[in-house]
Structure 1
């Protein structure tokens, strides 16, 4: 999902791309010559179309392969972002001024030039790479709650440069994919037409493009690792269970930051959002509502999409637009697929931040009593729950401020009487519980490693909040070194900073833990809130979102 710090990184990435000036390198794709720009030891090829534009009658259809390239193309600027969901941010009274500055002056100053014609890919390489280099490839999938985000927000240059410094050079690839209603429209009509999860299908098409073309840039198509954060990490996890676990040879490893196969249900569960868009756009009386939506002016459809809930609205992580089981690409609920063992058998790394739920709970400060908390959970997260199950939620996530998130901050950071309680619940429901379930199900079946990020714990009201671990990769931290090692060797251990990272097993559920203190990297155990997390896993397996 798209959050505070990654947007700050985005401003850096955009400035960097705009200022590229230096020797240019070229690559031949089909009958075309693509010219990139070199800065230091890194060359960037940006904004290359990887699929047909999903416009006109291609709207709400599966991505189509790009036609063979011809001509001469200057690939030195990112392509436009895919249509972004309008953000409605109401900052709560009482939020400390420095937290306000962090959210407003970093997150919402980012600019998203967007267009339906947005399916482009970016390749960042060591300047010394040749078509015979066979370098491993790290494929970044951005987050943004499946509603926002852009590859242009992230500069892969420092990661490639760091890989060169470590003597383990990699190629960095990122792509845009469709978002919000444009990418994750959900209904029975969508299911019947076989056009569900288009954002994931875009990513899959980009992975096919990599198989076809990455060797021209010096990459090895047999050494691709898919990697993402939040919605991007969830996407990575879903590619592992898509096609009943058949990864089609598109990747050999997976690296997930704050995202796992999560508790989403059937695609018909999005019917209410589909019906509202159909009504708002005047398509209700059309004999084929999906065809009607395809024919609408972009501005009409965009306005209707923007009117639907966004991740900073009151329902928060009970997202309107998210991947759901479509019966074809995702043949069942993601966690059911994990339970059935339908998972790509590749090594993976997965981890979370300590306070995943705080940022998403800023929109819930009007909830001030236990009764209101109970109603909120029942309405948005557990509509099929029994009274007994709701009683258990309240018991596992009590009003006691010392038990809430930001965790281990005592009575501090209580923006409202229920804020820390809701933050603890949301963080476990969407992030911690699915991650632990995934790891425990795959322990002994494939090599796995796990981490917990406790950095930025002193952030007012937010703690070690969602997306703070991105800095540990893109700004040259230990997690970035572990990533580079993993992309090269399918093992995070190797040269660079950090300590030896043990594998995760059910008997030894080891975390590499990133801290703010004198011991920046330690080993801890994934045993916190065991009973509460086990309960949430049981509930979501039976009744997914």
Structure 2
């Protein structure tokens, strides 16, 4: 009986916050455990979580299985069949990737919808669309349970709908070469297939989210890590024209220039393509096919995945040159017409409100402990960062970069971060963490990696987003996440990449933190909800978080019970150089 009472109370709250008095008077609430929505592709049956009063519709196909002739092509919308019944009570299969904890399949293009229980098609609630991270190598919607997010939106009196979308990964989603680029012109293949999956998922929302009670005109795209990179790429796609697919974006540790962006005929891309083809017996078309592409399209999925993993292992030195593996977007003429820093400088970025931020120590989890001396450190960075080694400016750019990131542990990452009663903070700033204790370059590498991949690109987005050519009504906010939960991470990690995700999703069976600070979780989550609902993260709780501008450079620092304002000017000279035209041309940012 108690769960039913709570259910109806939440239903009443959602009704009160609906958009019109008419919808309140005609609204009815049901405690059915089988919510159902009729779409043109069929009737979708979900289920209700009685503890959170959230309806879940999981594993709804939005595209035909990208198998056989559809492998490496743009996704094709799912067939329409109004008489079909779709049992949407569990997440669909996960797209092919390493590891065995998922139900892997090429038939993996599914979307999920979480909504407040009892919502009807007239509510027109704002929608938050989640794009998962995983370096474009891994990831799955099944590891992100959004019931906490939707339930909190109802408690805040600003109910939203949460959606998430699966997309192809690694070679299945991002295989590139000159051959594929040529095939893309005839529609026989595509570059950046995984990004096209996301784009089709957005189109599916435009066509169907109204039937779940959402407003297709009020979609915010949201991602973390590769998901944030993806969301930011959609800001640049089609010359910055978002085609009405979304109205705002949240970029959590990721921006368009968060990694090397090169053309599909780049020598390293061609080398990877040839290497993968050889591993599966498809070089020059193998024995039975007219082309390498045709042969690759007919390789069994597990074999192709294993070859992808093998190629990645062969590419490793002390750390993988991640941007040169077959898992990263390339310049294709639609999502990227040029390097992202150049596109943004030309104003090719969607004119929408944005939240963008990073963790304090973004680089620690990507930096190897085996940077035993300066020579190894320099070789490591050059291997993964320099896109064009033969560039006459490469040597000078590297020398300047290394000068700006000196071998001084106190300036390295984990950065200085005082402990509090709820945050572990940092340790001795002169601690190198790894052996040899006198020459190890881990902290130097972590500082440089974090700024090269994350902080610099974020500042490029901020500068482009407030360009004088944009409408003044489209505001941007930025943040720094400096919380380090007590008893959770190693000292060398600091406030590491991804440690902020639990502060939005909360503790769930899929991911949790024993040191979670509830007040910080609530502050951050309600800010994200407020932005989704009002295009302003401060509306719900009147949080003191000023709009960003180049003069004040105001940013909010999320840390423990002490959320404060700071200035986004740390390591300004070094970061500015990394994204300067001189350096970004060498690094292909």
For the criterion TM > 0.5, the same-fold answer is: yes
Structure-2 change in CA distance of 1:169 and 1:467 (3 Å):
same
Say which of 442, 451, 458 aligns to 2:465.
442
Q: Once structures 1 and 2 are overlaid, which stretch shifts more, 459-468 or 201-210? A: 459-468
Match of 1:112, SS?
coil
1:465 aligns with 2:506: no
Q: After TM superposition, give the deviation of residue 31 of structure 1 in Å.
A: 6.0
2:291 equivalent in structure 1: 288
Structure-2 change in CA distance of 1:481 and 1:413 (3 Å):
farther
Structure-2 change in CA distance of 1:279 and 1:26 (3 Å):
same
CA distance in 2, matches of 1:331, 1:318: 18
Q: Once structures 1 and 2 are overlaid, which stretch shifts more, 300-309 or 158-167? A: 300-309
Match of 2:273, SS?
helix
1:305 equivalent in structure 2: 308
CA distance in 2, matches of 1:524, 1:500: 12
Q: TM-score, normalised by structure 2?
A: 0.81
State whether residues 128 and 221 of structure 2, in contact with CA within 8 Å, keep that contact through their aligned partners in structure 1: yes
Say which of 66, 86, 90 aligns to 1:73.
86
State whether residues 239 and 334 of structure 2, in contact with CA within 8 Å, keep that contact through their aligned partners in structure 1: no
Q: Deviations over 1:266-293 (max 9, x none)?
A: 2333222111111111111214211110
2:273 equivalent in structure 1: 274
CA distance in 2, matches of 1:56, 1:540: 42
State whether residues 45 and 76 of structure 1, in contact with CA within 8 Å, keep that contact through their aligned partners in structure 2: yes
1:495 equivalent in structure 2: 540
State whether residues 191 and 327 of structure 1, in contact with CA within 8 Å, keep that contact through their aligned partners in structure 2: no
Q: Once structures 1 and 2 are overlaid, which stretch shifts more, 330-339 or 421-430? A: 330-339
CA distance in 2, matches of 1:540, 1:235: 23
1:542 equivalent in structure 2: 585
Match of 2:84, SS?
strand
State whether residues 363 and 449 of structure 2, in contact with CA within 8 Å, keep that contact through their aligned partners in structure 1: yes
State whether residues 265 and 544 of structure 1, in contact with CA within 8 Å, keep that contact through their aligned partners in structure 2: no
Q: TM-score, normalised by structure 1?
A: 0.88
Q: After TM superposition, give the deviation of residue 173 of structure 1 in Å.
A: 0.2
CA distance in 2, matches of 1:333, 1:419: 29
Q: After TM superposition, give the deviation of residue 327 of structure 1 in Å.
A: 2.0
1:23 aligns with 2:67: no
Structure 2: 5+ residue stretches without partners: 1-30, 185-189, 417-426, 507-520
2:8 equivalent in structure 1: none
Say which of 565, 568, 571 aligns to 1:529.
571
State whether residues 350 and 435 of structure 1, in contact with CA within 8 Å, keep that contact through their aligned partners in structure 2: yes
2:5 equivalent in structure 1: none
State whether residues 413 and 446 of structure 2, in contact with CA within 8 Å, keep that contact through their aligned partners in structure 1: yes
1:227 equivalent in structure 2: 222
1:123 aligns with 2:113: yes
Match of 2:548, SS?
coil
State whether residues 26 and 33 of structure 1, in contact with CA within 8 Å, keep that contact through their aligned partners in structure 2: yes
> Which residues in structure 2 correspond to 1:117-266 (within 5 Å)?
117-194=107-184, 195-262=190-257, 263-266=260-263
Q: After TM superposition, give the deviation of residue 457 of structure 1 in Å.
A: 6.9
Q: After TM superposition, give the deviation of residue 319 of structure 1 in Å.
A: 4.8
Q: Deviations over 1:30-65 (max 9, x none)?
A: 262211110132100000000010001100000001
Q: Deviations over 1:214-235 (max 9, x none)?
A: 0010000000000000100000
State whether residues 92 and 110 of structure 2, in contact with CA within 8 Å, keep that contact through their aligned partners in structure 1: yes
Match of 1:468, SS?
coil
State whether residues 333 and 544 of structure 1, in contact with CA within 8 Å, keep that contact through their aligned partners in structure 2: no
2:323 equivalent in structure 1: 318
Structure-2 change in CA distance of 1:35 and 1:540 (3 Å):
farther
Q: Deviations over 1:490-517 (max 9, x none)?
A: 1111224x7321111111111110113x
Q: After TM superposition, give the deviation of residue 169 of structure 1 in Å.
A: 0.3
Q: After TM superposition, give the deviation of residue 212 of structure 1 in Å.
A: 0.5
CA distance in 1, matches of 2:115, 2:201: 17
Q: Once structures 1 and 2 are overlaid, which stretch shifts more, 142-151 or 67-76? A: 67-76
1:405 aligns with 2:436: no
Structure 1 outlier segments of 4+, above 4 Å = 310-313
Structure 1: 5+ residue stretches without partners: 1-20, 87-109
Q: Once structures 1 and 2 are overlaid, which stretch shifts more, 42-51 or 336-345? A: 336-345
CA distance in 2, matches of 1:303, 1:39: 38
State whether residues 234 and 335 of structure 2, in contact with CA within 8 Å, keep that contact through their aligned partners in structure 1: no
Q: Deviations over 1:285-336 (max 9, x none)?
A: 2142111100112222121111122799712543511111112342222222
Q: After TM superposition, give the deviation of residue 148 of structure 1 in Å.
A: 0.5
Structure-2 change in CA distance of 1:43 and 1:540 (3 Å):
farther
Structure-2 change in CA distance of 1:116 and 1:31 (3 Å):
closer
Say which of 58, 64, 79 aligns to 2:70.
58
Structure-2 change in CA distance of 1:163 and 1:413 (3 Å):
farther
State whether residues 85 and 305 of structure 1, in contact with CA within 8 Å, keep that contact through their aligned partners in structure 2: no
State whether residues 415 and 461 of structure 1, in contact with CA within 8 Å, keep that contact through their aligned partners in structure 2: no
Q: Whose relative contact order is higher, 1 or 2, with alpha carbons under 8 Å and at least 6 apart?
A: 1
CA distance in 2, matches of 1:316, 1:285: 26
State whether residues 482 and 493 of structure 1, in contact with CA within 8 Å, keep that contact through their aligned partners in structure 2: yes
Greater Rg over alpha carbons, structure:
2
2:7 equivalent in structure 1: none
Q: After TM superposition, give the deviation of residue 544 of structure 1 in Å.
A: 3.7
